[in-house]
Structure formats: structure tokens, C-alpha cells
Amino acid sequence: MASSNGLICFTNCLLPQEDGALVEKDLWIDERRGVILDSQRTFFLRKERPDRIIDLGGNILSPGFLDIQINGAYNFDFSVYEGDDAAYKEGLHRVAEKIVETGVTSLLPTIITQERSLYPKLLHLLRPYSAPNSATLLGWHAEGPFIQLAKRGAHAPEFLMGAKEEIKSFESVYGAENLVVAEDWLMGSEATGDALGVRVITAAPEVDGVMVSIPELARRGVVFSIGHSIATTALATAAVQGGARLITHLFNAMPQLHHRDPSIIGLLGASPHLSSPSELTDLGLTKGKVAEMSFERPFYELIVDGIHSHPNSVRLAYSSYPDGCVLITDAMKILDPHLPDGVHPWRDGKNFVKAGDKLYLEGTDTLAGSVVSLDKCVRNFSRFTGCSLGEAIRCATYNPARCLGIEARKGTLRPGADADLVVLDRKGRVQSTWVAGREVWTRA
Ligand code: ZN
């Protein structure tokens, strides 16, 4: 018998394409290198035979999902650090190991506004991480402290800050070493080295010193995301022209759509040509030939639990700009598909009440964040918008990968990409999950 070559061929399956189509096709991967292969080259040119042929029985073989905003899961909160590095890492790795059952193979742990001295300790622990049998931690998403007091949501008001020293303020909070240019940090042999950790910063452009810092943050490879903000249309537009690429949990923690000043939400309707040059010039935010500027709309995050945004709002956003849609969970530590409904401890002696995908503070009707899993968001999204499962999958794979600029490696089935895969039945339910060419979870 010939020696094993580590090649696996998935057959009898539908492959989601980058345009949202589902196409019946085989997929070849190299289990040893953990990458997707060019099946034409492998089979027809090199005449290789696979070690294993896996018949998926007509199921969907999707790229693994990416969750770029998640606060915790499996009883671990990424924003709670109690001075014990080992315990924190254990919690972090537990989430990475378990979350694959929801189809997520890459995530950005999200840190909400902290007491300033906690950042260096926390962020040091949140460097990119990959381990066998686990989802990849791509770095972190810092939500706050440069956000708007009036739209702070659950963020602690006493820790909010302005950025008076502009980029230096960002460096002093997140650590200058986390904000260095690292062109191809994910392209290296391992993503666990001293590569930068910051991937996304959510901040409010109207907060002192934030707007002028956006171009420099963008230059350093940070995705600047507009959120927890009351930016006017003019300010939100200027932020995008300065390099903002994303809107944090669209509809939540921002002004609602007003027809005369549609603010952040209105960016989804913006024309490719600058809409209000005189207003921006008046604000001193643009110089010179503003009329010639082109405008690329930002990506936008949606929490599709049916609670944080009405299904009609989800459909409205998607209809206006399908290419920018990124599904997130924004989940709290209580996210765990096995957890029953009922009362669960939160912190400071307070309790959560979980009722299906609804989570609120005990004794109130205040929403306490989300508890939905990303695979469920994909199914909800298809139902709410009427789009195909392939198009919904795109919003949890290819779109978030493009937003982070890693679409050559993640969120795609291109040859050379990481073999991070999720098998879904025709209703979008997760059947098995693969990371770097290895099956890491399968439905019992
Ligand atoms: Zn938020």
C-alpha cells in the first residue's frame, strides 16, 4: 500500500462561494499542512489520489465561521481579569476549544471598557493564539474606552476617556507594542508569536482626539469601527473617509435613522460620491478637491438574535448593502448552547435571566447582552431576509474575513486558505467542525 499523503477529498457536498452561491463540487484538503488544495491541480495534473474520501451526503461544506465581536462564552468573560494569568488563559482556551460546536473557527475576544491599568495585563494575554482542537484567536477587539458617554450601554461611565493626545492616547491605553504596523502577521508560520494583537477598535469619532487618530490607526492595520457614538452624518462620513472600515453592532448604541441626519446608520445608503462636501469642509474635516473623493461604505455588524434588531431592520440593512454585512454574536459569558433557561449568576451579586435567546437582568426587563450562537444567527438571518443559506453563510465567513483583510486565509475555500471548515445540513445546523485540516467536533 502506498504511503499516506494526508489528502482528504470531501465529496457529495455543496460549497458556498464568495458570491453567496452554493455549488455542488468536491473539496480537497491537505490534512498535514492544514490547507485547502486546488483540486484541479492535485487530481488532474499531479494525478494524486486522496487518502480519505468523505461523503457528506449532500450537506454544505462551508468555511468556518468568524465571530469578530464576542464578550465571552462557557461561563468565561474576556473582560474579567482577577490577577491570575493562568486562570485567565485557561478560560480563554476553554472558550476556543468549545466554541467550535457552533461552527466558529476564528474569533476576536472583545474587551469592553476597563479600568485603565487593566489593559496591559489583559491584552498581553490576548495575543493571537492557535492550538490543536481549538478555534483560532485572531487577536482582540477593544470596545472602549474612547466611546460616547450618552451611548455607553453597559460600559462603566467612570472609565470612559477622551484621546486628547490623539494616537498617543491610544498607545498609552492599549500599549504602543500592540499598535505597530505588522503587514503580514497572520501570514507567518505561527500566529502565536509577537505579532500584534489589536485587530478592531470600537470608538466614537466625536470624542475628543479620536477623529484625527483614525488615519494613523488604519495605517497600522487596525480596523477602526464606529460605535457607541452619536456622530452626525457629516462626522460619520468623515470617519469613513479617514479610514474607518466598520460599524459596531448596527442600530444599537447609536442615533436611530433620522431622514434629515441619518447619522451612522445612514452610511449604508451613502453614494460612492461624497454626499455633503460643503458640510465637511465647514467642519474642517476635508481639504482641497473634496468633490472628487470617492466613498466606500463601511462593513457593518448585525446581532441577528431577533431581539437586538427587529427582523425588518435586519432585512432593511442587508437590502441596502449586502457586501458589507457581518454577523456577530456580541455574546456574553452565558453563551453555551447546553445551558438551560433560568436564573444564572452574573457579577457583583447580580443575576441573569435567560429565556431562549433573550437575556435580561433579574428583576428588570433590561437586556443584558446577547446569548445567541453564530450558527443560529446564520439561520435566523436567512429566515429574516429571505436570502439563501449560502448568502447568509457569506456574512459569517467571507465578509468578516474581508473586513479584517485576511480573506486569503480565512472565511474562504480558496486554494491555500486554512482548512477551517464547518459541515452544515441543508437547514444550517452544524454537523461537524474542522480546524487546520482536522476534525475537532462532530455531532454525536
Ligand atoms: Zn457594544
349-388 residue pLDDT tens: 889 899 999 998 898 888 888 999 999 999 999 999 999 9
Q: Are residues 147 and 105 in the same domain?
A: yes
411 domain residue, yes or no:
no
Active site residue ranges: 330
Give dist(CA 146, CA 292) in Å, integer: 31
Q: Is the pLDDT of residue 294 over 80?
A: no
Whole-number Å distance, alpha carbon 253 to ligand 1 midpoint, is: 7
Q: Is the pLDDT of residue 66 over 60?
A: yes
Centre of ligand 1 to C-alpha 23, Å, is 36
Residue 417 Cα, ligand 1 centroid: separation in angstroms?
Answer: 31
Residue 342 resides in a domain: yes
Share of the chain above pLDDT 70, in %: 91
Same domain for 48 and 157: no
| CA-based end-to-end distance of the chain | 32
337 and 193 in one domain?
Answer: yes
Cα–ligand 1 centroid distance for 138 (angstroms): 19
* Tally of domains within the chain: 2
**pTM as predicted:** 0.93
> Ligand 1 centre and the CA of 203: distance in Å?
10
CB contact at 8 A, 280 and 238: yes
Distance between CA 411 and CA 403 in Å, rounded? 11
Single out the residue of 248, 157, 260 nearest to residue 204, CA to CA.
248
Mean pLDDT of the chain: 91
Is pLDDT at 194 greater than 60 in this prediction?
no
Q: Report the range out of 56-70, 181-195, 271-285, 287-301 with the highest average pLDDT.
A: 56-70
Clarify whether residues 283 and 394 are in a common domain. yes
Residue 289 is part of a domain; what is its CATH number? 3.20.20.140
What cell numbers appear for 151 in the block?
Answer: 451611548
- Look at residue 196 and tell me if it is in a domain: yes
Q: Looking at the structure, do residues 269 and 197 belong to the same domain, yes or no? A: yes
pLDDT tens-digit readout, 303-352: 999 999 999 999 999 999 999 999 999 999 999 999 999 999 887 788 98
Domain for residue 410, yes or no? no
- 281 sits in which H/E element: helix 277-282
Same domain, 25 and 114: no
Verify that 256 and 376 share a domain, yes or no: yes
Please give the distance, rounded to the nearest whole angstrom, from the Cα atom of residue 186 to the centre of ligand 1.
26
Q: Calculate how far, in angstroms, residue 249's C-alpha sits from the geometric centre of ligand 1.
A: 7
Per DSSP, 100 falls in state G
pLDDT recorded at residue 233 = 95
Residues 6+ apart with CB under 8 A from 235: 205, 206, 211, 283, 285
274 compared with 351, residue with greater pLDDT: 351
**Whether residues 289 and 270 fall in one domain:** yes
220 and 353 in a single domain? The answer is yes
Smallest CA-to-CA distance from 346 within 332, 357, 330 is with: 332
pLDDT score at 276 = 53
Which domain covers residue 37, as residue numbers?
Answer: 7-62+418-442
Alpha helices in 311-415 (DSSP H): 311-320, 374-385, 389-394, 398-404
Dihedral sign computed on CA atoms, order 411, 413, 414, 415: positive
Residues linked to residue 65 through DSSP beta bridges, in sequence order? 104
CATH number of the domain where residue 436 is located: 2.30.40.10
> Is the per-residue pLDDT at 132 higher than 50?
yes
Q: How far is the CA of 248 from the centre of ligand 1 (A)?
A: 7
- On whether residue 335 sits in a domain, the answer given is yes
- Measured in Å, residue 295 CA sits from the centre of ligand 1 at 26
Identify the three-state secondary structure at position 238.
Answer: helix
C-alpha dist (Å) from residue 71 to 362, 380, 385, 413? 20, 21, 26, 28
| One domain, residues 191 and 78 | yes
Residue 142, beta-bridge partner list: 111, 201
- Using the mean position of ligand 1's atoms as its centre, give its distance from the Cα of residue 143 in Å: 7
Query: Is residue 2 assigned to a domain?
Result: no
The pLDDT confidence band at residue 279, using thresholds 50, 70 and 90, is low
Give the position of cell 458570491: 19
Q: Distance between CA 35 and CA 359 in Å, rounded?
A: 38
Half-sphere exposure at residue 28, Cβ-oriented, CA atoms within 13 angstroms: 18
Decide if 409 is inside a domain.
no
Q: What is the dihedral of CA 338, 340, 341, 342, to 10 degrees?
A: -130
Q: Does some domain include residue 1?
A: no
Does 359 share its domain with 398? Answer: yes
pLDDT at 180: 79
